[in-house]
Amino acid sequence: MTGKTYAILGGGGSFGIHAASYLLDHANPRKVIGIGRNLLREPAFSLNIDRRDGYEYHARHVTYELDLLLELLDREKPQIIVNFAAQGEGAVSWKHSWRFFETNSMALARLSEELMKRDWLERFIQIGTSEMYGSVDHAATEDEPIKPSSPYAASKVAFDMYLLSVAKFLKFPMTILRPSNAYCSGQLLHRVIPKAILCGLVGDKLPLHGGGKAEKSYIHARDLGRAIHLVADGGAPLGTVYNVGPKEPTSIRRVVELCAEAVNVPFEQLCEVTDDRLGQDSRYWLDSSAIKRDLGWEPQIGWTEGLAEVVAWERDNLDALKRAPRDYTLRG
């Protein structure tokens, strides 16, 4: 029997693409609809998701084209909406910070208010961020005090708090997932893992900010896709917040060392130490025991398997990746 229709906002990004692919493979959906502010990128980054049966993609801007987005959603009536849409780079959010609130808070609140009028919606799954807990010296649970340390993180906090309030008092059917840093094939090259591997493959130097002493928690995007599927499948109570991350954080230096090993390049040859980023938190670390207890989720893809996939993707698309930008560009 054909299942539900899923809409993935921010569906043109690598995490949205991997989530769509996971749902197509495991959820028996009627349809998976990717929705993003731009047309899909070239195949090296879109991973040819638009060639999959049961998938379609539409360009709609959640901030500036809400009417067109709602027309699409009302036509398709997705029972599950997964939201990745966000201005998503903490290091650059100190400049033009209002843009992060415009998208990550205001636009999504406007959308949610409209969705409350639609009886076809069964669940809205918000993809939050571990950065809203700030730097921690222990694994943060979901009731950890919120301590954002960048405008990006603060803008994500604002919408989470909005969702919690409308879920409690207006019964908006939402679940929040707060994942650790994710990585995967198709990821844009300003992220440390794809950039490090590309530098290793082409012989360039990777800037290692602050010597890589900051610690972050990483999961493969397919593990995040599995968490989304488990929540969407009805196992999670509405109004719940779940952390989604590994048991232990990893220093950026160690991540780069693993990338160097994956491409068989000496670590010292791969990178050079540069100044640290403004507002860099020293450690992101999540306690994900709640989602394990309730839904049986824990990471399944380790560093060796995950990095081997990224290396294979980059080798297969090396000519295209050589031409692609390696720095983040803020766009409205």
12 & 136 share domain: yes
What was the pLDDT predicted at 100?
A: 94
Residue 292 counted as domain residue: no
Residue whose pair of structure tokens reads 């990585």 in the numeric block: 183
6-13 average pLDDT score: 98
Q: For residues 58 and 160, state if they share a domain.
A: yes
Both 140 and 202 in one domain: the answer is: no
Using DSSP, how many helices (H) and how many strands (E) does the chain show? Answer: 13, 13
Q: Is 308:316 a contact under the CB 8 Å cutoff?
A: no
Query: Average per-residue pLDDT in the chain?
Result: 94
What CATH number does the domain containing 265 carry? 3.90.25.10
Look at the pTM and tell me if it is higher than 0.75: yes
174 shares its domain with 131: yes
Instruction: Give the per-residue pLDDT at 77.
Output: 98
Q: Domain containing 272: what range?
A: 187-216+248-279+301-323
Which pLDDT score is estimated for 332? 57
> In the prediction, which pLDDT does 90 show?
72
Is the CB of residue 56 less than 8 Å from the CB of residue 76? no
Q: Is the pLDDT of residue 292 over 90?
A: yes
pLDDT for residue 277 is more than 70: no
Region 308-325: mean pLDDT is: 97
Please report whether residue 289 resides in a domain. no
Contact assessment for residue 227 and residue 297, using Cβ atoms and an 8 Å cutoff: yes
Q: Do 200 and 273 have their domain in common?
A: yes
Indicate whether 180 pLDDT > 90.
yes
Residues 160, 198: one domain?
A: no
Which residues pair with residue 244 across a beta bridge?
179
CATH of the domain at 63: 3.40.50.720
Q: Same structural domain for residues 205 and 90?
A: no
The DSSP code sequence of 269-325 is HHEEEEPPPTT--SB--B--HHHHHHH-------HHHHHHHHHHHHHHTHHHHHHS-
Residues 114 and 234 placed together within one structural domain of the fold: yes
As a whole-number percent, the residues of the chain with pLDDT over 70 amount to 96
pLDDT at 1: 41
When divided into structural domains, the chain yields a total of: 2
Q: Where does the pLDDT of residue 278 fall: very low under 50, low under 70, confident under 90, or very high at 90 and above?
A: low
Instruction: For residue 50, give the amino acid letter.
Output: D
**Same domain for 175 and 133?**
yes
Selected residue with higher pLDDT from 18 and 1: 18
What SS3 class is residue 136? coil
**Residue 146 resides in a domain:** yes
Q: In whole angstroms, what is the distance from residue 111 CA to residue 114 CA?
A: 5
Helix runs in the chain, H state only:
14-26, 43-46, 66-76, 98-101, 108-115, 151-170, 192-202, 221-230, 252-262, 267-270, 289-295, 303-316, 318-323
